[in-house]
Amino acid sequence: MDEATFNEAVAASQDAATVENDEVLAAEQQRDEYRALAQQLQADFENYKKRVVRDVDDARAAGGARVINAILPVLDAFDLATSHYGEGASDEAKALLQSRQLLLDSLGKEGLERLGVVGEAFDPQVHDAVMHVDGDGGEQVIDDVLRIGYRWKGTVLRPAMVRVKG
């Protein structure tokens, strides 16, 4: 083989290697693009799953709050009947007090909290002051609870209607 033919063969070989190298680089670039796309899709899917779980939890809490709001008049009726009967010894009064306590305990386990305790510091976020009496000039405290308030899983459903002292 003469030198010219050899040089042509080397040049052709180098051209073929360059073409193959370019194809490998293009394939690697395409692979990297696909990997980035797959990672982005995976991250989007993970965010979607988290959002769906959060939306389901929010819907569940909202549904529970609607049910509790529907039950609030029943709890108010129990409170009114309890204050009417007091701590009477009649069988009806005992049954009423037990039923009321059973309902409050069951709802409390699910996240219902009663708001408004005499002597507690006044908090305008959870208490609705409808009356004010003069006190010793110190901190404002609840002097009387006119209507119990309720909080469901951290959200105030109804503020307690209170008389404030101080």
Grouped pLDDT means (10 residues each) for the chain, 166 residues: 69 72 85 94 95 92 88 90 74 84 92 88 88 80 90 89 88
Is 105 in the same domain as 136?
Answer: no
Tell me the C-alpha distance between 129 and 142, whole Å. 9
Residues 93 and 25 reside in one and the same domain:
yes
Q: Over the stretch 11-28, which tens digit does the pLDDT of each residue have?
A: 777 767 777 777 888 888
Residues 64 and 144 in one domain: no
Per-residue pLDDT reduced to its tens digit, 35-48:
999 999 999 999 99
Q: Which of 110, 130, 155 is a domain's end point?
A: 110
Distance from C-alpha of 68 to C-alpha of 10, rounded to nearest angstrom: 86
| Stated pTM of the model | 0.65
Same domain, 61 and 25: yes
Which residues span the domain enclosing 4? 1-110
Same domain, 73 and 117: no
